[in-house]
Amino acid sequence: MAWALIVTGLPAAGKSDAGAVLAALLRADGYTVSARSDKQALEDQVWLDIRAHGRPGPAPGSLAGRHSVLLNPGAPPGRLQMLFRDGNALNSAHRALIADVAHLIGDGDDRHVVLVEWAYGADYPYEGEPLLQSATHLVRWLGEAGVRSRVWLVEIVASYIERERRNRARPDGVPPVEFARHFREEGHLSPEDERSFDGRCVRISNADLPAEVFRRRIAGIYHALLREWLSGQTERERARLSP
């Protein structure tokens, strides 16, 4: 079976940079890497909503669906800006991504790593369908899918002030009103969540660090923890499957 490495944290904490470093290191060590992100999954769900229910939205050039608003429909994938009307689009994206991860993990290849970028945030009681995006839901869904024992979790943290500044500077940033509503210092892994991974969970601070220092920190975690664990798990898996 394959393994999953999930890089999680609040938006603009540094998950994409961390994931890029980890993907390069894994490939250098001979692993096949399948990269997935909840933003990609969310964009897919928003387009499904827009295509089924789309009409002119509240801002010039925007499109509104039943569950979401797409502010810049002409932008390329990965650069879309979205507003939520309820929790449906993101909840559906997360369910689809968990199912995809579970499917990929079951491929029988112990040199295959599914590398997932997953943003958590505050749950929000929208009318109709509440938004479920705290890290506790991620942990629960991994357990329900039967794959939590195949997962290493890397949590990236940074202050709200710093993340808000980074978000405003990004061309694909979350609209400021949505960022303030959903992505303050809420939704983190609880101590119980962390314990459920039996040591396969590490928190890394990206607080006011130059990008190169942060990348070196991620590489250090890979060499100190993840590489050894993956190698050991692969050997144990091969021994278990040997006739």
Residue 238: its pLDDT value, please?
A: 54
pLDDT(42) > 90:
yes
Q: Which CATH number fits domain 3-238: 2.120.10.30, 3.90.1150.10, 3.40.50.1100, 3.40.50.300?
A: 3.40.50.300
- pTM of the predicted model as reported, rounded to 2 decimal places: 0.91
Cβ pair 44, 10 in contact under 8 A: no
Q: Domain residue spans in the chain?
A: 3-238
Q: CA angle, corner 9, sides to 116 and 164, nearest 5?
A: 125
Which helix (H) or strand (E) covers residue 229, if one does?
helix 227-241
Confidence of residue 237 (pLDDT cuts 50, 70, 90): low
Q: Which of 127-141, 170-184, 185-199, 217-231 has the lowest mean pLDDT?
A: 170-184
> Percent of the chain scored above 70 by pLDDT?
96
In this prediction, residues 208-229 reach a mean pLDDT of 94
**Structure token digits, residue 236:** 């144990």
